[in-house]
Chain A
């Protein structure tokens, strides 16, 4: 326990990096994922084909390989990014298709009657999507989007294997330095992750229940 308290500043520093990765990649992945989802449902076939290829490619590549690419292959191609930014790019790329899929399943979850009603009232594609479909889909996608963010929180740990000092690398470093308190240190790190993931999970479950009642 002492080992944990003594190293608290180190834990906080690592936790800060984890949060930085989470917030930044989360935000960028939401933006890219929305664009991809919009392309996927768009009437232009080449756009939707591009979006589905992008989604399938990234979803079926292990995160480790994506981060490996960003950390080791990109420098070979001439990038001079520090490892933190490489990890940020990798996590954003990897998370964006999951965001796109969550959004798309939300859009498909809106009853068809809604779209038909909007169309029969004479609304166009843009009008029926922005005024009728999206406002309803948005509420339905919040729980799955939160689940994507929970997964992202856990995925930031993989960046620890690629020279980023975040919670996982802190766990490794401090466990090596304090051989007699390995369990305490690893549990402390787990607690830091749980502080983020469990509240998010509760919010998601709560929202899901609330929306289920309304429908």
Chain B
């Protein structure tokens, strides 16, 4: 075990005390969870009728139907589809914004900055509504366009930060070789900035995937809308809780695996890795914080 700088290697007495504290906490948490599960499992009265508890088979029996899983799969597919199209768009918009924002012409730079700030400061949901009502594109494109533009603005900002963080010599070397400003930006600076910011960008794409769930509100049949609304109303309210748990598990599975990929990339890509002993708290819990890039998720916007 790599000890933290903050406390000494515990002696026998502290170890015992910490073990006791641990046991108490585990017991408390277990008691809390047990209480929740017990309460959920209790049959409940609702206006005279006794409904079975939430873990009763009658609340879960729909999940043996293959048809239901097909519909859940369709919902998941719709979510992934919207996320994929929006991600591609966000990358293009992001590169474009970063280009315009770092332009040497003030005529280009200043309007680009204003537009960027406008998009970053506005809720995505409002943007979806805007596209839905003004451009009347249908729910899918409202979700995709809004997510693409919003996340594009954020990716653009982080690319700009990446460009700003490059050593000046890179650009100077490019210019002294006879490249134009534009060429130096495209061929020399951008590839490096992109590489540097890749973890942040990927983490932002995970956020984008999570945000496709806003489609629930603007009427796009993504995962939550499919399971909770469409399936929920066709199989009855009785299954709402079970459907909720299933949806939650699906989202967690998809997002956690994507986050893991992002984290691994962050670890592999970072140039100046610090050794674990340079961190204040134990390594197990902090993963990548002390690296120059930081934890990619800390830089993203929810």
Contact = CB atoms under 8 A, between A and B. Distances in A.
A156 B126 CA distance: 11
Interface string A106-145: 0111101001100100001100110001000000000010
A11 B193 CA distance: 42
Contact of A197 (B21, B29, B121, B294): B121
Given A193-B126, A198-B117, A63 B289 contact: no
Contacts of A155: 123, 302
Given A57-B252, A107-B280, A161-B216, A168 B129 contact: yes
Given A101-B297, A107-B281, A144-B298, A47 B25 contact: yes
A112 B129 contact: no
A186 interface: yes
Contact of B285 (A52, A186, A189): A52
Contacts, number: 184
Interface in B131-180: 133-134
Contacts of B211: 62
Interface in B78-107: none
Contacts of A101: 295, 297-298
Contacts of A115: 5-6, 280
A27 B268 CA distance: 37
A105 B240 contact: no
B210 interface: yes
Given A57-B252, A60-B255, A60-B259, A108 B301 contact: no
Contacts of A152: 302
B214 A158 contact: yes
Given A45-B22, A108-B279, A186-B129, A158 B122 contact: no
A160 B298 CA distance: 27
Given A68-B228, A161-B217, A189-B126, A56 B279 contact: no
B214 A64 contact: yes
Contacts of B25: 44, 46-47, 50
Nearest to A128: B6
Interface residues of A, number: 73
B270 interface: no
Interface string A180-213: 0011001001100110011001000000000000
A9 interface: no
B251 A105 contact: no
B125 interface: yes
B38 interface: no
Given A59-B297, A125-B7, A77 B40 contact: yes
A3 to B, nearest CB: 14
B246 to A, nearest CB: 11
B7 A43 contact: yes
Given A43-B4, A64-B213, A65-B224, A50 B29 contact: yes
A172 B5 contact: no
A110 B280 contact: yes
Interface residues of B, number: 61
A44 B134 contact: no
B97 to A, nearest CB: 16
Contacts of A197: 120-122
Contacts of A62: 210-211, 213, 224, 251
A41 interface: yes
B286 A161 contact: no
B35 interface: no
Contact of B134 (A59, A72, A148, A186): A186
B69 interface: no
Contacts of A64: 213-214, 216-217, 224
Which of A57, A108, A116, A161 counts the most chain B CB atoms within 10 A? A108
Interface of B: 4-7, 10, 18, 21-23, 25-26, 29, 39-40, 44, 117-118, 120-126, 129-130, 133-134, 210-211, 213-214, 216-217, 224, 228, 237, 240-241, 244, 247-248, 251-252, 255-256, 259, 278-281, 285-286, 289-290, 294-295, 297-298, 301-302
6 contacts: A44-B21, A60-B210, A61-B251, A65-B224, A154-B122, A168-B123
Interface of A: 40-41, 43-48, 50, 52, 56-57, 59-65, 68-69, 72-73, 76-78, 94, 98, 101-102, 104-105, 107-110, 112, 115-116, 119, 124-125, 128-129, 133, 144, 147-148, 150-152, 154-158, 160-161, 167-168, 171-172, 175, 182-183, 186, 189-190, 193-194, 197-198, 201
Given A41-B285, A198-B117, 6 more contacts: A68-B216, A76-B240, A101-B298, A115-B280, A144-B298, A151-B302
